[in-house]
């Protein structure tokens, strides 16, 4: 069995998150709303614009607090001892309150006890119309961020400090983060490169895509996909219905989806994965593993730890590795087939059972002599069993299916290595493709 590990994929360097001008709607007679997308803008009419800007002296190691009622926020970093901001306002000149909308949106920038405070605020008086707002901020890279917008995208370049980004409806696109991060949107996508600490990311329905997370990860989406390059600590990944993909898992992985697929590359620690109906595929498991699907298939390329896997209707295919003191394995399917590949010299005790089957439901490699017996009346449903101690016996391999077949075959090591590498490469390729797709879609939405 292969002991090699593929080099972790480098997260794609996504540059130029070109956020030109984000659409937001300000209804001055009520709380500010900012749900419109730039692609819905009518750019045929005349425009009124205004520019606001300022600069505040600062130093490394401090924090930017930026809060705005609406608008996109773009954070860029550079080596300087100040925070510069530029705010572009734009509205439709044909609106009756166009000039008032521009004049009543105020921006203030001041020093704070721990850094810099920037505030953007619209009027609450009786007026109506559309106002588009874009904040562009330059600050030192050795800085922390606390950014919140009532509606719009937030984009950041690489930053070394702690990061908190919150939006009521846009996308969050972040570069490398050198400390723990908290990212939250009510409905957009979240894309972040590598995080040198803990990551908490939540979206009401968009996708979450990340690079390497050094610490723990808690990722939740109301319905989108979750794709992660690697997690060094404990990972809790939860989606109401999307797919979950993890290339490398460290200490512990708990993945759950209401109905999507779960794919895991290499898992070094404890794994718990559950889906309401999709398939589960794990390339390599080394720690205790519990997999459960309501109806999909389960596919395990290399099992080096104790695994319990169950499916309501799909099949289970598993390649067992060499003994590592992993404990026994248990595979159970209601209606599907179970196929297990074993190394020729693996010491293992087989306990297999087909609850409603026939003797021909077992297909066993001649190298693995098993005793087959059955219970039940002739001509009726009966339970068929296959038992045996291979190479003197060892940990118990328990196989159970209600109506499916069970196959116990000798593994082909070279074929297994090939499958192992191909699946890891495919996971890496898929992650890179999806990141680029999400960023391209976000950029298109922001084109005026």
> How confident is the model at residue 80, as a pLDDT?
86
> Which residues lie across from 80 on neighbouring strands?
none
Residue 264 lies in a domain: no
> How confident is the model at residue 414, as a pLDDT?
74
> Given a cut of 80, is residue 258 above it in pLDDT?
yes
Give the domain-ending residue among 145, 174, 203: 174
pLDDT (average), residues 429-439 = 72
Residue 136 lies in a domain: yes
> How confident is the model at residue 160, as a pLDDT?
96
Tokens 């297999």 appear where?
A: 352
> How confident is the model at residue 21, as a pLDDT?
32
**Are residues 171 and 206 in contact, defined by beta-carbon separation less than 8 angstroms?**
yes
Residue 138 lies in a domain: yes
Report which listed range, 99-103, 107-111, 120-124, is most confident.
107-111
Give me the percent of the chain exceeding a pLDDT of 70: 83
**Are residues 95 and 132 in contact, defined by beta-carbon separation less than 8 angstroms?**
no
Residue 409 lies in a domain: yes
> How confident is the model at residue 247, as a pLDDT?
92
Give the domain-ending residue among 139, 174, 209: 174
**Are residues 372 and 362 in contact, defined by beta-carbon separation less than 8 angstroms?**
yes
Residue 431 lies in a domain: no
Q: Which residues make Cβ contacts (< 8 Å) with residue 150, sequence separation at least 6?
A: 24, 32, 33, 34, 68, 69, 70, 167, 168
pLDDT (average), residues 259-281 = 94
Quote the domain boundaries for residue 310. Answer: 280-286+298-424
pLDDT (average), residues 394-402 = 93
Give me the percent of the chain exceeding a pLDDT of 90: 61
Q: How many domains does the chain have?
A: 2
- The count of other CB atoms within 10 Å of the CB of residue 334 is 16
Average model confidence (pLDDT) across the chain: 85
Choice among 10-14, 172-176, 198-202 with the minimum mean pLDDT: 10-14
> How confident is the model at residue 369, as a pLDDT?
86
Q: Which residues make Cβ contacts (< 8 Å) with residue 95, sequence separation at least 6?
A: 101, 128, 129, 130
Residue 414 lies in a domain: yes
Tokens 């850094």 appear where?
A: 115
> How confident is the model at residue 411, as a pLDDT?
85
Residue 293 lies in a domain: no
Q: Which of the four pLDDT bands, split at 50, 70 and 90, describes residue 165?
A: very high
> How confident is the model at residue 377, as a pLDDT?
55
**Are residues 25 and 33 in contact, defined by beta-carbon separation less than 8 angstroms?**
yes
Choice among 44-53, 149-158, 161-170, 378-387 with the minimum mean pLDDT: 378-387
> How confident is the model at residue 117, as a pLDDT?
98
> How confident is the model at residue 122, as a pLDDT?
86
195 or 367, which is more confident: 195
> Given a cut of 80, is residue 219 above it in pLDDT?
yes
Q: Which of the four pLDDT bands, split at 50, 70 and 90, describes residue 270?
A: very high
> How confident is the model at residue 28, as a pLDDT?
37
> Given a cut of 80, is residue 8 above it in pLDDT?
no
> How confident is the model at residue 439, as a pLDDT?
66
> How confident is the model at residue 18, as a pLDDT?
32
> How confident is the model at residue 417, as a pLDDT?
74
> How confident is the model at residue 31, as a pLDDT?
31
**Distance between first and last Cα of the chain:** 55
Residue 91 lies in a domain: yes
For residue range 323-373, what is the model confidence (pLDDT) as tens digits?
Answer: 555 678 999 999 899 999 998 888 999 999 998 866 668 889 988 888 988
pLDDT (average), residues 203-212 = 94
> Given a cut of 90, is residue 193 above it in pLDDT?
yes
> Given a cut of 90, is residue 140 above it in pLDDT?
yes
Q: Which of the four pLDDT bands, split at 50, 70 and 90, describes residue 376?
A: low
């Amino acid at each position: 069995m292969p002991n090699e590990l593929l080099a972790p994929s480098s997260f794609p360097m996504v540059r130029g998150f070109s956020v030109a001008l984000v659409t937001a709607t300000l209804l001055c007679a009520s709380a500010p709303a900012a749900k419109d997308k730039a692609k819905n803008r009518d750019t045929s009419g005349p425009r009124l614009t205004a520019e606001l800007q300022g600069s505040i002296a600062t130093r490394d190691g401090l924090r930017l607090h930026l809060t705005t009622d609406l608008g996109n926020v773009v954070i860029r970093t550079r080596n300087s001892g100040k925070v510069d901001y530029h705010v572009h306002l734009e509205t439709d000149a044909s609106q009756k309150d166009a000039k008032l909308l521009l004049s009543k949106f105020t921006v203030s920038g001041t020093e704070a006890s721990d850094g810099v405070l920037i505030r953007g605020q619209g009027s609450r008086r009786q007026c109506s119309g559309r106002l588009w707002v874009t904040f562009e901020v330059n600050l030192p890279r050795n800085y922390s961020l606390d950014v919140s917008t009532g509606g719009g995208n937030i984009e950041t370049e690489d930053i070394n400090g702690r990061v908190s980004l919150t939006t009521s409806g846009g996308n969050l696109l972040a570069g490398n983060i050198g400390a723990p991060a908290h990212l939250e949107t009510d409905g957009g996508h979240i894309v972040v490169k590598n995080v040198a600490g803990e990551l908490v990311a939540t979206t009401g329905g968009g996708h979450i895509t990340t690079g390497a997370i050094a610490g723990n990860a808690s990722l939740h989406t109301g319905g989108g996909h979750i794709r992660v390059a690697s997690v060094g600590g404990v990972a809790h990944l939860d989606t109401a219905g999307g797919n979950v993909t993890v290339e490398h898992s460290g200490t512990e992985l708990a993945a759950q989806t209401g109905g999507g697929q779960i794919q895991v590359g290499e898992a070094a620690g404890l794994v718990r994965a559950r889906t309401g109906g999709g398939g589960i595929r794990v390339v390599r498991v080394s720690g205790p593993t519990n997999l459960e699907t309501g109806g999909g298939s389960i596919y395990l390329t290399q099992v080096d730890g104790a695994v319990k896997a169950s499916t309501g209707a799909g099949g289970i295919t598993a390649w067992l590795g060499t003994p590592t003191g992993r404990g026994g394995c248990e595979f159970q399917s209601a209606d599907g087939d179970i196929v297990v590949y074993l190394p020729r010299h693996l010491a293992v005790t087989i306990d297999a059972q087909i609850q409603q089957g026939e003797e021909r439901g077992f297909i066993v490699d001649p190298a693995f002599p098993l005793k087959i017996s059955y219970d039940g009346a002739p001509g009726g449903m009966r339970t068929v069993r296959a038992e045996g101690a291979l190479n003197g016996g060892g940990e118990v391999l328990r196989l159970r299916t209600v109506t499916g077949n069970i196959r116990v075959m000798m593994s082909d090591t070279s074929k297994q290595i090939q499958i192992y590498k191909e699946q890891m490469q495919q996971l890496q390729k898929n992650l890179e493709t999806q990141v680029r797709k999400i960023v391209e879609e976000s950029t298109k939405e922001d084109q005026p």
